[in-house]
A and B are shown apart, each in its own frame.
Chain A
């Protein structure tokens, strides 16, 4: 079995889904002839032809809106938006139509579409090419938001997203597109879209994260272990709908929780998770719920990127505060 990286796993899942279901089509800017700016769709045009792998003109609002129409009428579009910063023209279509087609028609029309976009910082790109605004989409009832953090989860979650009858915003942490290789069986096995993944078990502290930050968080957990602190690490992955239950169960055990995300702090997903812990897990907590996040600023340019991004040191500092608290 070949080892693949995250972006290759995305490609593998796309090919598998297209193989299984003739109604699955791929569209977007430069996805066909060029194989995608990050090579996520490479080879698909040759294999499946131009009626199923469509290079579109440069028009993001159209790409999203057209995907909704396709999805409502029998196709299963998987559209690519080149960078998350280009997704905002799609917001109108996603919020006004994709997310509520089912509700508006009392379930008669569905919208089985996937909108994929590379996201997040750390590749030395400017603002639109580096930001993490998953919370905007998580706020919208009717949209699913999924963020893989490993090749195997990219494969399994993308297959699940494509098979799901509702619209999924599938955000790929581009910083880790090629960070690790993993054996991923191309057997068409999907992963569930409604549970968190516990990547490491622990008893003293729960670290909750997603996307590229999973890697820094796991490194922090290793460093904590060296200090005799046992950290549980949860990859949320399916950010919306949120599996708060798994997080609550973990915090019942550990009594402490640190949420790590790259996105700006205010009204980020960390705030929602902290609120859920206060609502339903207050009595388990031995210390305040803390967040290690990006800052409330425009994603800075490369020379300042390292000041912005959460890192192992910041995560450890916050963990230490909680352990010292109680």
Chain B
């Protein structure tokens, strides 16, 4: 059976995809500005540039499906349906943030949305996803589980151990390697041995490489991999070639790549521009519909920032809560 193509999506689904990508872009651009202005504490790692990857996958998932994210998790959270205002409050460390201000940028989670958490530990997600996939299989929820890892995370033992187990136990798991070319400052061009697809092949999993700047390419590959997992046909790997617009973390001096490279990627490979171009050229959506979504998204994120700034910080009474159920 051929998987459905993204180009056949109904209008409202295309709008939904574009809205999520816009929300992520505006969210990340705002966090970048707010961090630079000194309003946001902690460390933040931004997903701008990679939107098509998260959205291309999450379009196929429902709340019963689980995902595990990375330290660069805002995009996955938004695409999985986490409330952007509660997310922004979490990043600001506020008491009514999505995790009560205890998780922060790197540990946002919302189990009601199937979002098992961003993760400060590189390679932390794949084993969790094997567990979530096994639970789904055992409890017959019909859900699948998706691990996002970066090119850096693809070299962790935990990731490779997970590939093996997911295959031998035929788990409904999908491993998405978001290769944005740099693990911090370490280029994947020399730090990743072999190839991501050959790795999948070595473990007996189907693998597919996609252009992560093209929502439709990601969407189609995701449909195939997720469809296989839902049908009990086991795990798959998708190698998403992408690019992050900002540094590894906010404050990164970015000494390991050139401004020319960044400029070229932003002007020629921007996933939002590519999406708009594709849907308007083919007449699937008109430019005014996209502009409307863009404006609504911008306004939503502005509100999220304003509310996060005004929200109260957790008090000392919260210091010892949530360590154990009873303490």
Knowing A58-B155, A126-B104, A301-B41, the reply to whether A85 touches B120 (Cβ < 8 A) is yes
B13-21, B59-67, B184-192, B260-268: which lies at the interface? B184-192
Knowing A58-B183, A302-B42, the reply to whether A296 touches B101 (Cβ < 8 A) is no
Find chain B residues with CB under 8 A from A59 CB: 123, 155-157
Q: Which residues of B contact A (CB under 8 A)?
A: 41-43, 93-94, 101-107, 120-123, 152-153, 155-158, 183-186, 191-192, 255-256, 313-314, 316, 318-320, 323
Task: Give 25 CB contacts A-B under 8 Å.
Answer: A29-B186, A30-B184, A33-B185, A33-B255, A34-B184, A34-B256, A37-B184, A55-B186, A57-B155, A58-B155, A58-B156, A58-B191, A59-B156, A86-B121, A86-B122, A89-B156, A125-B43, A126-B43, A126-B105, A295-B319, A298-B323, A300-B102, A301-B41, A304-B314, A307-B316
Give the docked Cα–Cα distance between A58 and B188 (Å): 10
Q: Which residues of A contact B (CB under 8 A)?
A: 29-30, 33-34, 37, 55, 57-59, 61-62, 85-86, 89, 124-129, 295-298, 300-304, 307-308
Give the docked Cα–Cα distance between A2 and B184 (Å): 32
Give the docked Cα–Cα distance between A126 and B104 (Å): 7
**Does B313 lie within 8 Å of A127, measured CB to CB?**
no
Q: Which of A30, A85, A297 contacts B323 (CB 8 A)?
A: A297
Give the docked Cα–Cα distance between A301 and B103 (Å): 7
Q: Which of B43, B103, B153 contacts A129 (CB 8 A)?
A: B43
Find chain A residues with CB under 8 A from B158 CB: 89
Give the docked Cα–Cα distance between A302 and B102 (Å): 9
**Does A126 lie within 8 Å of B255, measured CB to CB?**
no
The secondary-structure label for the interface of chain B is loop
Knowing A58-B156, A59-B156, the reply to whether A33 touches B256 (Cβ < 8 A) is yes
Knowing A59-B155, A296-B320, A302-B41, the reply to whether A126 touches B101 (Cβ < 8 A) is no
Give the docked Cα–Cα distance between A127 and B184 (Å): 19
Give the docked Cα–Cα distance between A275 and B314 (Å): 35
Find chain B residues with CB under 8 A from A298 CB: 102, 323
**Does A303 lie within 8 Å of B313, measured CB to CB?**
yes
**Does A302 lie within 8 Å of B93, measured CB to CB?**
yes
**Does B183 lie within 8 Å of A301, measured CB to CB?**
no
Knowing A34-B184, A58-B152, A126-B42, the reply to whether A303 touches B320 (Cβ < 8 A) is no
Name the distance in Å between B296's Cβ and chain A's nearest Cβ. Answer: 30
**Does A301 lie within 8 Å of B156, measured CB to CB?**
no
Known: A125-B42, A128-B121. 10 other contacts (CB 8 A): A34-B185, A34-B255, A37-B184, A57-B192, A58-B123, A58-B184, A59-B155, A297-B319, A301-B103, A302-B104
**Does B186 lie within 8 Å of A30, measured CB to CB?**
yes
Find chain B residues with CB under 8 A from A34 CB: 184-186, 255-256
**Does B102 lie within 8 Å of A85, measured CB to CB?**
no
Knowing A85-B120, A124-B41, A127-B107, the reply to whether A301 touches B102 (Cβ < 8 A) is yes
